[in-house]
Structure 1
Amino acid sequence: MQFSESQLLTLVAGIAWPFLRVSALFLAIPVFTGHMVPVRVRVMLAASVTWLISPMLPAMPDAALFSLSGFWIAVQQFLIGLAIGLVLHLVFEAVVFGGQSVAYSMGLGFASMVDPQTGVQVPVIAQFYQILATLLFLAMDGHLILIRLLVDSFQMLPVGFEGLSADGMRRLALWASRLFAAGVLFSLPLVTALLLVNLGFGVASRAAPQLNIFSVGFPVSLGLGLFLIGISLPDVLSLFSGFLDDGYQLMTAILQ
Structure 2
Amino acid sequence: MEFLAYLTEGNVANFLLLLLRFAGIIAFFPFFENQLITNFIKGVFIFWLTILFIPLVGIIPPANMTIVEFIVAGLSEIMLGFLASMALQIVFGMISFGGEIISFAMGLTIANAYDPVTGAQKPIVGQLLTLLALLIMLGLDYHHLFLYFVSESIKEIPLGSFIYSHNYIQYIIQSFSHLFLIGLTMSFPIIALILLSDIIFGMIMKAHPQFNLLAIGFPVKISIAFSILVVIIPAVIIHFKREFLKAFDALSILFQ
Structures share a fold, TM > 0.5? yes
Contact 1:201–1:213 under 8 Å retained in 2: yes
Q: In the alignment, does 2:213 pair up with 1:213?
A: yes
CA distance in 2, matches of 1:161, 1:35: 30
Kindly state the Cα deviation for residue 236 of structure 1 after the two structures are TM-superposed.
1.0
Which letter maps to 2:116? Answer: P
Specify the alignment match of 2:14 in structure 1: 14
CA distance in 2, matches of 1:53, 1:251: 19
Which letter maps to 1:98? Answer: G
Counterparts in 2 of 1:18-37, with a 5 A limit?
18-37=18-37
Contact 1:77–1:163 under 8 Å retained in 2: no
Kindly state the Cα deviation for residue 202 of structure 1 after the two structures are TM-superposed.
2.1
Contact 2:98–2:126 under 8 Å retained in 1: yes
Counterparts in 2 of 1:59-208, with a 5 A limit?
63-64=63-64, 66-208=66-208
Q: Report which stretch shifted further, 218-227 or 177-186.
A: 177-186
The one-character-per-residue Cα deviations of 1:114-162 (angstroms, maximum 9, x if unpaired) are 2223232111111111111111111121121122112112223222434
CA distance in 2, matches of 1:173, 1:155: 27
The one-character-per-residue Cα deviations of 1:195-245 (angstroms, maximum 9, x if unpaired) are 222222222223333322222210110111111111111111111111101
Q: Provide the secondary structure at the position in 1 that maps to 2:229.
A: helix
Kindly state the Cα deviation for residue 58 of structure 1 after the two structures are TM-superposed.
6.4
Contact 1:69–1:161 under 8 Å retained in 2: no
Kindly state the Cα deviation for residue 87 of structure 1 after the two structures are TM-superposed.
2.0
CA distance in 2, matches of 1:61, 1:220: 71
Cα pair distance change 1:82/1:60, threshold 3 Å: farther
Cα pair distance change 1:124/1:61, threshold 3 Å: farther
Cα pair distance change 1:220/1:64, threshold 3 Å: farther
CA distance in 2, matches of 1:59, 1:208: 83
Contact 1:24–1:85 under 8 Å retained in 2: no
Contact 1:186–1:239 under 8 Å retained in 2: no
Q: Provide the secondary structure at the position in 1 that maps to 2:113.
A: strand
Which letter maps to 1:39? Answer: N
Q: Provide the secondary structure at the position in 1 that maps to 2:87.
A: helix
Which letter maps to 2:208? Answer: A
Which letter maps to 1:239? Answer: H
TM-score, normalising length: structure 2: 0.89
Number of residue pairs the alignment of both structures matches = 250
CA distance in 2, matches of 1:159, 1:247: 23
CA distance in 1, matches of 2:146, 2:119: 24
Gaps of 5+ in 2: 1-6
Specify the alignment match of 1:254 in structure 2: 254
Specify the alignment match of 2:3 in structure 1: none
Q: Provide the secondary structure at the position in 2 that maps to 1:119.
A: coil
What's the % identity of the aligned pairs? 24
Which letter maps to 1:134? Answer: L
Kindly state the Cα deviation for residue 8 of structure 1 after the two structures are TM-superposed.
5.0
Specify the alignment match of 1:232 in structure 2: 232
Contact 1:153–1:255 under 8 Å retained in 2: yes
Cα pair distance change 1:186/1:60, threshold 3 Å: farther
RMSD of aligned alpha carbons: 2.1
Gaps of 5+ in 1: 1-6
Which letter maps to 2:52? Answer: L
CA distance in 2, matches of 1:220, 1:48: 53
